[in-house]
Amino acid sequence: MTTPDEQAARLDDAIADLLALRPRVMGAAPWQLAEYYGTEDEANWAPPEVLAHVEEMLPFWLGEIERILEGPASSPVPFGRVATDAVRIGIIGRDRTLPLRELFARVAADGARLSARIRELDGADLAREGLHPRLGVLTVAECLERFVTSHVEDHVRQLEEILAARGA
């Protein structure tokens, strides 16, 4: 299991990598909004949808981790959502129309906030369990890996692929 500092450092690196793409993303604008941004394949998203998703998911998963940490330790705490969550889809739909500079600023702020909170966790916190509606019992450490760090890393690669396809 990785330590909180290692997990936070990976998140910091992923956020930095995403923010480093800002000049290329903005330089290749305007971006046509994706026709589908709900439960369809995220591979069809353009940068506005990717950034809107990252900026909505960072505070969401921080809140869900806090839910687990504040819940009873005697049994896994219900948490999370599935891709069809109407609020998730609604926020992406709303925020994908924001200026790209605002989306990048929100990702930077929320990434820093989440990273700082991860560094405050200890081994007992990382071992706390939540009950996801689809995936079942997961520890906080597993949540951080699956829903935060590796997820942001995946979206950095996605943005790089979108830019490469556009020749930007």
CATH code (residue 159): 1.20.120.450
Res. 40: pLDDT tops 80: no
Instruction: Scan for tokens 């969401």, then name that residue.
Output: 60
Instruction: State how many domains the chain has.
Output: 1
139: left (phi over 0), alpha (psi -120 to 50) or beta: beta
Q: Supply the range of the domain harboring residue 161.
A: 4-166
Within 8 A by CB and 6+ apart from 124, the residues are none
Q: What's the angle, vertex CA 27, arms to CA 21 and CA 29, rounded to 5?
A: 105
Q: Tell me which residue has tokens 């450092």.
A: 9
Nearest CA to 152 out of 46, 4, 19 is that of 19
Model pLDDT for residues 97-152, shown as the tens digit of each residue? 999 999 999 999 999 999 999 999 999 999 999 999 999 999 999 999 999 999 99
